[in-house]
Amino acid sequence: MNGQGVLDLITFMAILAFFAYISRELEIRRVAGEIELYLTLFKAARDKALSSTIRSFEELSAREGGRVDVSRIENRVKALIEALVITPTSLDPFGLVRKMRFFLRTADLSLRREVKRLVPHVAESEAETLASMVEASRALNYIYKVVNHSYALAKKFKSYWLLLQLNALLPFIAEEVRAFENAVDALVKHVPIGDSAGPLTVGTLIREIGARDSGIDVEDTSVYVGRLRDRQLVLVKARGPGSTTGRLDEALRKVLAIWGGSASLVITVDALVKLEGEKSGEVVEGYGVAIGGTGVEKYGVEEVLT
């Protein structure tokens, strides 16, 4: 190979390396652009939810009469949205659910107190709605911050693979963001959140059989007793009309303490196992406890039953 051939080979290799580098840089810019677009949408959803929450606080505060301290409400709501529930350590799993239950209920109680402090004279159901709006806004804020954190790290280390992994997850994260965004709109309009399959089924059954209140006292939970086809039914649901899901595990514990000897079957109703593409409204039987959420209530029910 003469000198001209060597020069041509070096030139070819340099051009090949240059285009490989440019191709990678263009791909990184494309992926980064898609992530930034998602981040813009997530930030807009977070800001919209925050504005709706603050506006709801201001409207209820104005309805009570007197001067509305707008800056105080805005600052306090923003602080509430930044608050976090830190999960307990799982190094020793013994008692983990008990600790989670304590932290979650402490956070819930603290949030309700803060809402009552900002709007002291609102009805209990309205206070629950405001608290749920804060929680939905908090979730949107957390999602935005985590995605932005992951994106910033990927850019900092110039990692194409981190960007690619984050970009692959974003469509699924966007579904969660849409769900929380719709939840805030639903709370503002006072319409049911989610599938409502459980409360709707139990509520309809209560009306059809003319069930009466059992008198069992459980926070945010109603327990009814009635008869259907010569069977005694004990029906448990969230009390409403607020947005809390009740204390179903505590209610079941009290129910079984009274009727445990004669109880033959416990049925839970939820849309938990509904998968994408399946027909809506189809009834499927299963074995186990169909309760969504953090898993604390589900664990409590399983402990009582097993």
Window from 111-120, 175-184, 240-249, 286-295 with minimum mean pLDDT? 240-249
Predicted local confidence at residue 284, as pLDDT: 83
- Who wins on pLDDT, 268 or 7? 268
Window from 59-68, 74-83, 220-229, 280-289 with minimum mean pLDDT? 59-68
Predicted local confidence at residue 258, as pLDDT: 87
Residue type, position 145, single letter: K
Q: Model confidence over 191-217: pLDDT tens digits?
A: 877 777 888 888 889 999 888 988 888
Q: Which two tokens stand for residue 177?
A: 């963001």
Quick one: how far is CA 284 from the chain centroid? 24
Predicted local confidence at residue 138, as pLDDT: 94
Predicted local confidence at residue 4, as pLDDT: 66
Closest by Cα among 85, 141, 82 to 109? 85
Average of per-residue pLDDT values in the chain: 86
Instruction: For 213, list phi and psi in degrees, rounded to 5.
Output: -65, 130
- Measured CA to CA, the distance from residue 199 to residue 269 in angstroms comes to 8
Q: How confident is the model at residue 12 (pLDDT cuts 50, 70, 90)?
A: low
Whether the CB-CB separation of 152 and 35 falls below 8 Å is answered with: no
Predicted local confidence at residue 41, as pLDDT: 95
Of all residues in the chain, the percent with pLDDT exceeding 90 is: 30
Closest by Cα among 41, 38, 39, 85 to 181? 41
Predicted local confidence at residue 94, as pLDDT: 84
Closest by Cα among 273, 130, 294, 298 to 195? 273
pLDDT of 1 higher than 60: no
- Measured CA to CA, the distance from residue 100 to residue 87 in angstroms comes to 7
- The domain limits of the chain are 3-189, 197-305
SS3 233: strand
Q: Which two tokens stand for residue 209?
A: 């059989």
Whether the CB-CB separation of 249 and 289 falls below 8 Å is answered with: no
For residue 120, whether the previous peptide bond is cis, meaning omega lies within 30 degrees of 0, is no
Predicted local confidence at residue 47, as pLDDT: 94
Classify burial at 155, counting beta carbons within 10 Å of its beta carbon; exposed 0-12, middle 13-18, buried 19 or more: middle
DSSP letters along 160-214, please?
HHHHHHHHHHHHHHHHHHHHHHHHHHHHHHT---S--HHHHHHHHHHHHHT-EE-
Q: Model confidence over 258-279: pLDDT tens digits?
A: 887 778 888 888 887 778 888 8
Q: What are the Cα distances from residue 184, in Å, to 51, 107, 131, 177, 198?
A: 10, 20, 11, 11, 21
Predicted local confidence at residue 24, as pLDDT: 74
- Where helices occur in 69-191 by DSSP H, the ranges are 70-82, 96-118, 124-156, 160-189
- Measured CA to CA, the distance from residue 221 to residue 67 in angstroms comes to 36
Q: Model confidence over 85-109: pLDDT tens digits?
A: 888 888 888 888 889 989 999 999 9
pLDDT of 242 higher than 80: no
Predicted local confidence at residue 2, as pLDDT: 60
pLDDT of 256 higher than 80: yes
Predicted local confidence at residue 265, as pLDDT: 87
- For residues 214-231, average pLDDT: 88
The single-letter DSSP state of residue 241 is S
Look-up of token digits 């649901």: 237
